[in-house]
Amino acid sequence: MEELLAICGPIAQDLKCTIPNLIVKKCILGLQGMYCASIRTITINAELLKDLRYKEFLIKTIAHEMRHHWQYESGMLKQQDNYLVWKGEDFAIIFGTIWNMEGRNINYHEYPWEIDANQYSEQYLERQSKAA
């Protein structure tokens, strides 16, 4: 857990946000991490901590999930009933899928909050690499 806090601290400073609760546990195949806003918790897949070869991927995953934490803390992303609101734009949650207000089902890689978190984690990792 200390290793995770050591990674989260600089990211929280960069984002100017708090450090959320952290959980490490085995996750379903393909899931590296996730953020749950209702309990302000990042869950990290325990497999990422087993091998030092995953260190860069671990940092990127934490940066991605910390960005989601920041999105909620800053009010950029909100959940209201069965809607997610991203920068004032509503997205409906219907049976676990996300729909824009034009009635189009959008996939995970098209969610604007995921695009933002992916861009941030890439940029953060790039800055860290240049600083090292």
Tokens of 132: 């090292």
pTM comes to 0.93
Does 132 score more than 80 pLDDT?
no
Does 83 score more than 90 pLDDT?
yes
Tokens of 70: 């920041």
Q: What are the chain's domains?
A: 2-131 (3.30.2010.10)
Q: pLDDT tens, 115-129? A: 999 999 999 999 988
Q: pLDDT tens, 19-67? A: 999 999 998 878 899 999 999 999 999 988 887 777 899 999 999 999 9
pLDDT band per the 50, 70, 90 thresholds, residue 78: very high
Confidence (pLDDT) at 105: 93
Does 89 score more than 80 pLDDT?
yes
Residue 26's alpha-carbon distances to 29, 45, 47, 49, in angstroms, are 9, 5, 7, 10
Q: Render the chain in DSSP notation, one character per residue.
A: -HHHHHHHHHHHHHHT----EEEEE--STT--EEEEGGGTEEEEEGGGGT-GGGHHHHHHHHHHHHHHHHHHHHTSEEEETTEEEETTEEEEEETTEEEETTS-EE-GGG-HHHHHHHHHHHHHHHHHHHH-
